[in-house]
A and B are shown apart, each in its own frame.
Chain A
Amino acid sequence: MANNPVKLPVAPMIIYSKNADINLGDIMFNKNQKTKQEKTNSNKEKNEKTSNEVLKKSLEYNINLFSEIFANDETLIIRRFQNKVLKSAKCCVLYFDGMVKTEIINENIIKPILSNDLSMNILEENLLEELQYKVIVSNDVKTEINISRMNDAAIYGDTIFLLEGYEKALIINTKGWQTRTITEPESEKIIRGPREGFTESIMMNISMVRRKIKSTDLKFKFKDIGVRTRTKTCICYIEGIVAPNILTELERRLDEINIDGILDSGYIQELIRDAPFSPFETVGYSEKPDVIASKILEGRIAIIVDGSPVALTVPFILAEASQSSEDYYNNYIFGSFNRLLRTISAYFAISIPAVYLSIVTYHQEMLPTPLLLSISASRQGVPLPTALSMFIMLLIFDALREAGTRMPTAIGQAVNIVGTLVLGQAAVEAKLVSAPVVIVTALTGILTLMNISLIGASILSRFFLLLAASVLGIYGFFLGSFLIILHVLSIRSFGVPYLLNISKVKNHNGQDTWIRAPWWSMTLRPKIIGAKNLVRQAAPKNRRR
């Protein structure tokens, strides 16, 4: 993966300063100064190269200009051609190999100019415009005089059309590269509901959202982010529902991004988020257009990034982490049951190991006698302390999980077998860990995977609580829980409280948090997020038929 350019100059600096025996303050100071300088330098360099140049009347000069700009880039194709009748129609197309649909260039640009008799019905004085209007067959042709914009277009798959005697060029849309087809996202499988997922192509993704919400209020705003990657990023929202201050705040944060490359929406997610040091995500994401559409309909703003099949939504509240799109498509009672299961399991996933550890090693008085006896029986002859074995087993589980995500499918089975045998059987039989620890680990693992979008936060808080419980028992567990709760309470996502709707059930606050209320009763959008236009639907009068 690409390195962060800001960090690049840091490494040699530290080595240098170590030798020179400079104190830490100097290093920090120097580092900041150097990176700032570097940033301005690179910008200046880029500007010099493109903005000072202009097109001239000579075709050859212009072609040379582009050859110089793209020197050493051998994918640039330069094709000169001339109309057989009208000699003044000396043309040239420039494009990048692999980025274009060759048929469009051949059939719609070169062929009409080459084979037609251009002396007929064509005004020679204004040849470029005449060609644009009457000859070139394309749905998207623009006149352009800015060289840097021409470069951007060519890089993104358009074709630059140059004509002898003109200081401007035509930019013809010839984009055509291979994209992945629409498939069901692997990370968000469902049984009922739309199965299509986003792809890496931004326009395809936008079209999928557009198809869900056919409203003139649905707005798409583009931004190019990344100094070098110039990644196309689209902000998508519904005017009239979205909170304007959240929108301006989002645009401000996006404009502030100054990074060399955006390779996935994850970069943007991290660069615009609130609470940057927290393991709790404050920006939502999904691979499914129906999920993104539903969030947009509630007043959230979606950010679709070119090259990433994952779209982002802001603001994000904790309640969204346990919402699944299927909850809304199934019967609401079943949906609420699943939702409740997920929310409760999120709490258990972080607390079960800590509670087990503190009761078994600090507060044996709280165990029923038969349970104490059977736990004691399972601990006979086990050398590792419960706390240590709990840490080790949870780490092994996470290692297995990580290996499982990363490894090729072909060797998946081998890892599974080894994992189950090592974890479940051999460890207990060899008396390295006690059986209840294995059970607790397995249960914790399953519960953690139930809320896949909370996985990072829950693994970290689980270890934090386990550590607290191993030092202070059940008191440590409660102390740790309070600290986590206080931390979560302090988070805001774009000004919206992170725990919005979790503690209150009054009015419509809790309708979509612990349960999924029936659609006929969800007449309001979530507060604050959709505050500008709260009413989702007029309360139906005849719902009880």
Chain B
Amino acid sequence: MKRVKIVLSALLIIFNSVFATGCWNYREVDQFTIVAGVAVDKGEHSKYRITVEVAQITGGREAKTNSKLISMEGDTIFDAVRNEISLAGKRLYWSHAKVLIISKEIASEGIANIIDWYNRDAETRGDVHILVSMEETARQIFEASSQIEDIKSFELDNIIKNQVSLSKTPIIEIWDFSNLLSRKNLGAITPTVSIYKKNIVDCPLVYGTAIFKNGKMIGTIDGEETKSLLFVLNQIKGGVLINDEKQDEMLVTLEIFKSKTKIVPVVNGDNVEINITIKTITGIDEFNGNGNCLDEELIRRLEQKLEIALKNRIIKLVKKIQSDYEVDIFGFGAKIHEDMPKEWSKLEDSWEEEFKDLKINVNTKFNIKNSATLSKTLNIGE
């Protein structure tokens, strides 16, 4: 009897797990079209026009990959995606898509349904990067030339991934974004992409941040402001800071090694205030002027200047967001909710109003760790 039980339960597990394997159709890799990226525009005849950049693979001894654009229209996103079959025949394969570009127009009208489809569909993946096109259409981004990769979507993917050492645009994957959208009283952000026309060839440029409120885009901030935003969000992993005050005798560029931001809400009388403490470890990487980098006096002076500059930048950004966009993209509300739930219950319903007048105190601490491989400035002609 015991043996029968064991055998039966083993069979139960084995046969049940057949149904738990998800999609498991046998399909050959050459039978589907690999989507590298997708752009969503307003359609001319229908509601949406979807443009997919697909990898066009030529086999044989000199295998080559190129990209090709396929556009199709439909009243919903999925309708448009499936309409592709009547254009190209092969099913689209979404698991390796890297970017989702949304046109300005669609973004300001609301993108909840796009995000819903992308999260709901079984083949699409949550780790795709979401971008807002600053050009007229999103398709234009794919039509521009690429610099290194053959496929523009992969290049955009690299651009966003390597922002860790630039910090001029946030790194947002679609599951991040839908998390942000689903939170009450919280704004969402995505990187913005435009076409850089000052180069010899026009190529995509990812720079700055689009700000969403209730699933609709309401504005953008530029790359330097994005850096300040990332400082507040504690998402700085690298990047460059310039001590560029005009009256200063030296121009110093620093590389950020590590930065840690702490946001602490405090009650001051009747109001809740936000204390932001930022500790940043940097190193001198470019030094223009006279001076010895080992001089402690100089280092301390430099640190102080940087602290004040960063503090001013952050206050400026928060003021701008508070007055222009009136949306909490910093997550202050969530922090108050976590740390002092009682206070939050009072603020929750009128948070939009409260956020506008929220007082913040910024405290910055810089530490210049080293001056890379040189200690002194290079004196030309000596």
Contacts and interface: CB of A to CB of B under 8 A. Distances in A.
Contact of B63 (A361, A374, A385, A386): A374
A470 interface: yes
Nearest to B61: A429
B95 A364 contact: yes
Interface in A373-397: 373-382, 385-387
B287 interface: no
A376 B98 CA distance: 18
B14 A373 contact: no
Interface in B38-84: 55, 57-61, 63-65
B65 A379 contact: no
Interface in B12-47: 14, 17-18, 21, 24-30, 34
A470 B29 contact: no
Contacts of A374: 63
Interface in B297-334: none
Contacts of B63: 374, 377-378, 380
Given A364-B93, A364-B95, A380 B28 contact: no
A379 B21 contact: no
Contact of A372 (B24, B34, B60, B125): B34
A360 B26 CA distance: 9
Contacts, number: 75
A378 B60 CA distance: 7
A372 B17 CA distance: 27
Given A475-B17, A475-B18, A376 B29 contact: yes
A387 B29 CA distance: 12
B10 to A, nearest CB: 9
Contacts of A376: 29-30, 34, 55, 57
- Which bucket holds chain B's interface residue count? 20 to 34
A106 to B, nearest CB: 72
B96 interface: yes
A379 B14 contact: no
A369 interface: yes
Question: Which among A360, A362, A382 has the highest number of chain B CB atoms within 10 Å?
Answer: A362
A50 B148 CA distance: 94
B55 A373 contact: yes
Interface bin, chain A: 20 to 34
B257 interface: no
B344 interface: no
Contact of A369 (B21, B27, B58, B96): B96
B154 A369 contact: yes
Interface in B99-135: 125
Given A364-B93, A382-B30, A479-B14, A377 B24 contact: no
A73 B180 CA distance: 99
A137 interface: no
Most chain B CB neighbours (cut-off 10 Å) among A386, A429, A475: A475
B21 A373 contact: no
A379 B27 CA distance: 12
Contacts of B28: 361, 379, 385-386
B30 A380 contact: yes
Given A365-B125, A470-B26, A373 B34 contact: yes
Nearest to A376: B29
Nearest to B97: A369
Contact of A379 (B59, B64, B98): B59
Interface in A469-485: 470, 472-473, 475, 479
B77 to A, nearest CB: 21
Contact of B96 (A363, A372, A387): A372
B17 A379 contact: no
A475 B21 contact: yes
Contacts of B93: 364
B1 to A, nearest CB: 21
Contact of B29 (A372, A381, A472, A475): A372
Nearest to A482: B14
Contacts of B25: 362
Closest 7 CB pairs of A and B: A380-B59, A377-B63, A379-B30, A365-B95, A376-B29, A475-B21, A377-B57
24 contacts: A360-B29, A362-B26, A364-B27, A365-B96, A372-B34, A373-B34, A373-B65, A374-B63, A377-B60, A377-B64, A379-B28, A379-B29, A379-B59, A380-B30, A380-B57, A380-B59, A380-B60, A381-B59, A387-B26, A429-B61, A472-B21, A472-B24, A473-B26, A475-B18
